[in-house]
């Protein structure tokens, strides 16, 4: 019995030591991100699985509670597909873009702004957060122009006016933005816009310090069939080489291009992380090891003194790459 008590005591000490180490490791990151804007594109499994939904909401509320200015941007393709199916309307795509006629844009807006946006706000409130739901139409935040008449009401973002978002952030709210946009001056139509692209442009307009995309993959992989081949850090100047040699291919290309657009617009750090991992946001924000793939411009990032723990980096010295989290 005495021996069992000793074992329990040792286990408790180990647990305490572990958690103390976690908190000590996280403290510098708490200090770094307080008062900074972080834009998160919320999608993938993290938006479909109930347990992952709750984990993401808890992460966002924690970030907001310690003073990080979090902006959550979401799409909702699968939910739109379900609703179109329920009303007997076929989903049509051209080059990966949803054909959006007048009836479909009504359904898109209903699902994104009326259903999903309010569900996310409700979950954040349940977790103790202060959240406000918006669409790109509110305050004329996102303006767009039609891409192609064949696609109908599918738009390309032309302007982002972030004043309403900045106002909410200053008051401590978590803005939750659905990606439906208003036409340019003189155009009263609403447009369905790509959530990845919109979130990158919102990050630029807000002067965000970090842009994070939650996805269904670990990040950029050297071999798509081997999750262990994750490339943890890619310098902006190496992106085109990775596209040319096929390392970045298929559905990863537009996600990386959104990171590139954010970087070129002045956002110092961009990330593609695995939303299937519970609390992946906290791991990225507050740990030495981070998670997923960081894409960054080495000319705009100040390096820490951390030591790299892996070698899957695109270029530069290991100590440099380990620094940029």
CA-closest candidate to residue 256, choices 248, 268, 266: 248
Q: How confident is the model at residue 7 (pLDDT cuts 50, 70, 90)?
A: low
Instruction: Please give the pLDDT value at position 300.
Output: 56
The terminus-to-terminus CA distance of the chain in angstroms comes to 47
Residue 155 has pLDDT above 80, yes or no: yes
The pLDDT-based confidence of 93 (bands split at 50, 70, 90) is confident
Of 154, 171, 151, 312, the C-alpha closest to 242 is 312
Give the list of residues 6+ apart from residue 75 with CB closer than 8 angstroms, or none: 43, 112, 178, 179, 194, 195, 196
| pLDDT above 70 (res 119) | yes
Mean pLDDT of 122-131: 96
pLDDT for the residue numbered 308: 36
- Predicted TM-score (pTM) of this structure: 0.85
pLDDT of residue 316: 39
How much is the mean pLDDT over the chain?
85
Backbone angles phi, psi at 123, to 5 degrees: -65, -40
Query: What pLDDT, in 10s, does the model give residues 265-296?
Result: 999 999 999 988 888 998 888 877 778 999 99
Q: Is the pLDDT of residue 243 over 90?
A: yes
The single-letter DSSP state of residue 130 is -
Rounded mean pLDDT of 53-69? Answer: 94
- Using left for φ > 0, alpha for ψ between -120 and 50, and beta otherwise, residue 44 falls in left
Residue with tokens 């990151």: 29
Task: Please give the average per-residue pLDDT across 301-325, as a whole number.
Answer: 39
Q: Where are the beta strands (DSSP E) in the chain?
A: 37-42, 69-74, 93-94, 97-98, 131-135, 142-146, 155-160, 174-178, 180-183, 190-192, 210-215, 233-235, 269-274, 293-296
Is 231 in a helix, a strand, or coil? coil
Mean pLDDT score, 294-310: 58
236: left (phi over 0), alpha (psi -120 to 50) or beta: alpha
Q: How confident is the model at residue 1 (pLDDT cuts 50, 70, 90)?
A: very low
Would you state the pLDDT for residue 16? 67
Q: Where does the pLDDT of residue 136 fall: very low under 50, low under 70, confident under 90, or very high at 90 and above?
A: very high
- 97, exposed or middle or buried, with CB in 10 Å at 0-12, 13-18, 19+? middle
- Alpha-carbon distance 214 to 271, whole Å? 9
Cα 218 to Cα 106: distance, rounded to the nearest angstrom = 34
- Cα(323)–Cα(211) distance, rounded to whole angstroms? 17
Tell me the pLDDT band of 236, cut-offs 50, 70 and 90. very high
In the prediction, which pLDDT does 306 show? 38
pLDDT > 90: what percent of the chain? 61
Residues 15-51 pLDDT 10s: 767 766 767 777 777 788 889 999 999 987 677 788 8
* Dist CA 39 CA 212 (whole Å): 6
pLDDT range class, residue 194, cuts 50, 70, 90: very high
pLDDT interval class at 324 (50, 70, 90): very low
Distances (CA, A) of 10 to 1, 7, 22: 14, 5, 18
pLDDT for res 25: 73
Is residue 176 within 8 Å of 117, Cβ to Cβ? yes
Structure tokens given for 258: 């959104």
6 has pLDDT over 70: no
| Residues 80, 83, 85, 87, Cα dihedral to 10° | -140
C-alpha–C-alpha distance, residues 221 and 293, integer Å? 9
* Whether residue 318 has pLDDT greater than 90: no
Structure-token pair, residue 205: 């307009």
Q: What is the pLDDT of residue 190?
A: 96
């Amino acid at each position: 019995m005495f021996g069992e008590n000793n074992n329990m005591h040792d286990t408790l000490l180990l647990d305490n030591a572990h958690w103390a180490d976690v908190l000590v490791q996280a403290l510098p990151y708490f200090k770094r991100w307080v008062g900074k804007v972080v834009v998160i594109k919320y999608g993938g499994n993290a938006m479909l699985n109930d347990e992952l939904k709750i984990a993401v909401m808890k992460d966002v509320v924690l970030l907001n509670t310690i003073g990080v200015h979090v902006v959550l941007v979401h799409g909702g393709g699968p939910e739109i597909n379900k609703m179109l199916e329920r009303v007997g309307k076929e989903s049509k795509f051209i080059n990966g873009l949803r054909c959006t006629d007048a009836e479909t844009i009504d359904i898109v807006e209903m699902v994104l702004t009326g259903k999903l946006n309010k569900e996310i706000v409700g979950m954040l409130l349940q977790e103790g957060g202060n959240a406000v739901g918006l669409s790109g139409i509110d305050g004329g935040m996102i303006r767009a122009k039609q891409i192609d008449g064949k696609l109908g009401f599918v738009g390309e973002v032309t302007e982002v006016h972030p004043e309403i978002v900045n106002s909410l952030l200053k008051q401590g709210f978590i803005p939750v933005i659905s990606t439906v946009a208003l036409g340019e001056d003189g155009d009263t139509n609403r447009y369905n816009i790509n959530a990845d692209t919109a979130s990158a442009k919102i990050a630029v307009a807000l002067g965000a310090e970090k842009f994070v995309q939650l996805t269904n993959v670990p990040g950029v992989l050297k071999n798509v069939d081997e999750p262990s081949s994750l490339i943890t850090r890619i310098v902006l100047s190496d992106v085109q080489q990775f596209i040319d040699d096929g390392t970045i291919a298929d559905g990863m290309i537009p996600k990386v291009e959104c990171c590139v657009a954010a970087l070129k617009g002045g956002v110092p750090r961009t990330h593609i992380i695995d939303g299937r991992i519970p609390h992946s946001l906290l791991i990225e924000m507050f740990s030495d090891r981070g998670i997923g793939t960081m894409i960054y411009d080495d000319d705009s990032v100040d390096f820490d003194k951390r030591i790299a723990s892996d070698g899957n980096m695109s270029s530069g010295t290991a100590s440099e790459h380990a620094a940029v989290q």
